[in-house]
Amino acid sequence: MQGYIYPNEFELQWGLLIVLYPYITGLVAGAFILASLERVFNVKEVQPTYRLALLTALAFLLVAPLPLLGHLGHPERSYEIFLTPNRQSAMAMFGFVYAWYLTVVLLLEVWFEYRKDLVLRAQAAHGVRKWFFYSLTLGATDLSDRSLRFDDTAGRVITVIGIPSAFLLHGYVGFIFGSVKANPWWSSVLMPVVFLFSAIVSGIALVLILYLVTSLFRSRPVDMPCVDKLASFLFYAMIIDVSLEMLDFLHRLYESEESIGILSQMISSRLFLSLIVLQLVIGTLVPLVLLGTSSPALRRGGTARGSDELRRVIYLVAAVLVEIGIFSIRWNVVVGGQLFSKSLRGLTVYKVEVLGSEGIAITFALLALPLVILWGLVKVLPPWSEAQARPSH
């Protein structure tokens, strides 16, 4: 502690679990927007990752409410958010935004996308497996051209609805912080927008990592035009993200409101490692240089530089660094917003516990859980192109 903080501010209210929540929903929104590139914007190169991106979004969305539930003082009362939401509260909208996104967008899109595969697998299987796959088709086993075309159209329509929904899902999370007028570190109209673009960055990076790693373990060749495209998109998304953050930073600096003194103090002391080193240098500048020099993003004619092998390594390293950087962004927003006193006269500290309900161990478990779910989803709904049954369109 340094300077003066209100006595009630000694305890930090939102810890590691609340850092995790916007991180995970960001991955969901980002992965979905990546999937929509192929579906709606017809970016053919990224087609091999379309299904993987969808399943990734679903797996992470299933885990997204867990850190929130774990953080509540009375998780057993959480259903009150659905029963008697306070219509004035931004947070009260969580349940509805979440339910909409899970059921109307992701589950529906996955179902339409996989219906033909499920029917074929049900026909080929026997016994319990047959019934399992049959139940997943919900009894819709019509594989006529007309019905498959309907699947495709429906998937496209849902994706179109899904893009604003993904924006809503993560923009909403940014709004939760950006609308707190009591907190000068959070209170910014740019917050939802910055959240959104950092979400897109983290989602693309995650799918890139998953695609490279799964290809390695499956001993399948990596589709280089696809990862080159992903790397280029990652680069562009990062440029927008960084620009927005710089705009926010410059705006604060130039306006120089009464909070500027304590916030500057916080950045140069408490947040130096997580903001300057991890977020800015390791998580942004280094990956930008790596991607800018190797991916086709900046190159005339769209050709990449370096051997395929080298590029794969560079992309993987860059994407992992990006994930570290985005996690640092979430940390700097959530924890940073509580490290200074609202009296603007002092700084406090946050001590992370290793074990315990909000500790590092739980955090890693919650980060690993979506990967386990994804593994299960992949078993039932293989996303690989060689298993894909969707008609080319």
Q: How far is the CB of 259 from other proteins (least distance, A)?
A: 10
**Identified binder of other proteins from the candidate list 9, 117, 323, 358, rule CB under 8 A:** 9
The stretch among 4-12, 102-110, 144-152, 359-367 that binds other proteins (CB under 8 A) is 4-12
- State which residue, 233 or 331, has the beta carbon closest to other proteins: 331
Site map (CB under 8 A) of other proteins, residues 87-106, x = contact: xxxxxx-x------------
Supply 75's token pair: 């998780």
Q: How far apart are the first and last CA of the chain?
A: 62
Least distance to other proteins, CB of residue 77, Å? 5
Is position 6 an interface residue for other proteins (rule: CB under 8 A)? yes
Per-residue x/- mask for other proteins, residues 60 to 89, rule CB under 8 A?
Answer: --------x--xxxxx-xxxxx-xxxxxxx
Residues numbered 150-189 forming contacts with other proteins, rule: CB under 8 A: 176, 180-183
In angstroms, the CA 206 to CA 203 distance is 5
Q: How far is the CB of 178 from other proteins (least distance, A)?
A: 12
Nearer Cβ to other proteins, position 69 or 216? Answer: 69
CB of 26 to other proteins, least distance (A): 19
49 counts as binding other proteins under rule CB under 8 A: no
Which residue's CB is nearer to other proteins, number 5 or number 208? 5
Of the ranges 6-14, 132-140, 157-165, 204-212, which one interacts with other proteins (CB under 8 A)? Answer: 6-14
Query: Does the protein bind other proteins through residue 236 (CB under 8 A)?
Result: no
Q: How many residues does the chain have?
A: 393
> Per rule CB under 8 A, is residue 8 in the interface with other proteins?
yes
Residue from 130, 156, 299, 345 touching other proteins (CB under 8 A): that is 345
Q: How far is the CB of 340 from other proteins (least distance, A)?
A: 12
Closest CB 71 distance from other proteins, rounded Å: 8
* Cβ proximity to other proteins, 92 vs 240, nearer residue: 92
| Residue 268 sits in the site that holds other proteins (CB under 8 A) | no
Q: Which residues contact 184 (CB under 8 A, 6 or more apart)?
A: 257, 259, 263, 344
Cβ closer to other proteins: 146 or 181? 181
Cβ proximity of 379 and 57 under 8 Å: no
CB of 75 to other proteins, least distance (A): 8
SS3 for the chain is: CEECCCHHHCCCCCCHHHHHHHHHHHHHHHHHHHHHHHHCCCCHHHHHHHHHHHHHHHHHHHHCHHHHHHHCCCHHHCCHHHHCCCCCCCHHHHHHHHHHHHHHHHHHHHHHHHHHHHHHHHHHCCHHHHHHHHHHCCCCCCCCHHHHHHHHHHHHHHHHHHHHHHHHHHHHHHHHHHCCCCCCCCCCCCHHHHHHHHHHHHHHHHHHHHHHHHHHHCCCCCCHHHHHHHHHHHHHHHHHHHHHHHHHHHHHHHHCCCCHHHHHHHHHCCCHHHHHHHHHHHHHHHHHHHHHHHCHHHCHHHCCCCCHHHHHHHHHHHHHHHHHHHHHHHHHHHCHHHHECCCCCEECCCCCCCCCCCCHHHHHHHHHHHHHHHHHHHHHCCCCHHHCCCCCC
Nearer to other proteins, 79 or 131 (CB): 79
**In angstroms, what is the minimal distance from the CB of 57 to other proteins?**
25
Token pair belonging to 226: 């696809």
* Interacting residue with other proteins among 4, 272, 364, 375 (CB under 8 A): 4
Rule CB under 8 A: is residue 215 a binding residue for other proteins?
A: no
Contact 369, 66 (CB under 8 A): yes
Count the site residues for other proteins by CB under 8 A: 45
Rounded Cα–Cα distance for residues 191 and 207 (Å): 24
Judged by beta carbon, residue 49 or residue 341, the one nearer other proteins is 341
- What residues line the site for other proteins (CB under 8 A)? 3-11, 13-14, 68, 71-75, 77-81, 83-92, 94, 176, 180-183, 337-338, 341-345
